[in-house]
Amino acid sequence: MAEVVWSQELCVGIQQVDDEHQKLVLVLNQLDSAMCAGKGTRVMAEILAQLIIYTQEHFISEEELMAECGYPKMELHQAQHRQLVEKVLKFQTKFEIGGKRITKEMMEFLTYWLTNHILGDDMAFAAHYNGAPVGSINS
């Protein structure tokens, strides 16, 4: 799988959120590199745990910003966050008991989810947060 390259296109225009997204991309790329290099399950389990913890921390941080600005789609956005965390925690459990490996499909799912969530839902939130019309961020 190709590494996710951070670009201006992924910037939502809220420095704290952009910094956190960059860290998520970094950890996701570390997990992908470990998978591609055939690293042991211990190493991959540590990186996966780091990704999950940081994702949860990021979601809390992002949701606090949503609450501060009265984002009208906050509940929907939170539901998307919860769904991802639940899915990845289930995957982590299967991985840790040895019943499943980190696969290319899982990495593609995580990459797809992260980039599409940033480009869609997070951009819409950022537009509201910054007081700009939806679609005007990064243009």
The CATH number assigned to the domain holding 76 equals 1.20.120.50
Query: Is position 82 within any domain?
Result: yes
CA 117 to CA 98: how far, in whole Å?
30
Section 111-128 average pLDDT:
94
Report pLDDT for 132. Answer: 58
Is residue 122 helix, strand or coil? helix
How many contiguous H segments (helices) and E segments (strands) does the chain have? 5, 0
Query: Is position 136 within any domain?
Result: no
Query: Is position 10 within any domain?
Result: no
Query: Is position 139 within any domain?
Result: no
Query: Is position 53 within any domain?
Result: yes
What is the residue range of 67's domain?
Answer: 15-129
Query: Is position 137 within any domain?
Result: no
Query: Is position 5 within any domain?
Result: no
Q: How many domains does the chain have?
A: 1
54 contacts: CB under 8 Å, gap ≥ 6? 20, 23, 24, 27
Query: Is position 9 within any domain?
Result: no
Burial (CB count within 10 angstroms: exposed 0-12, middle 13-18, buried 19+), residue 69: middle
Burial (CB count within 10 angstroms: exposed 0-12, middle 13-18, buried 19+), residue 56: middle
Evaluate if residue 53 carries a pLDDT over 60: yes
Give this prediction's pTM: 0.86
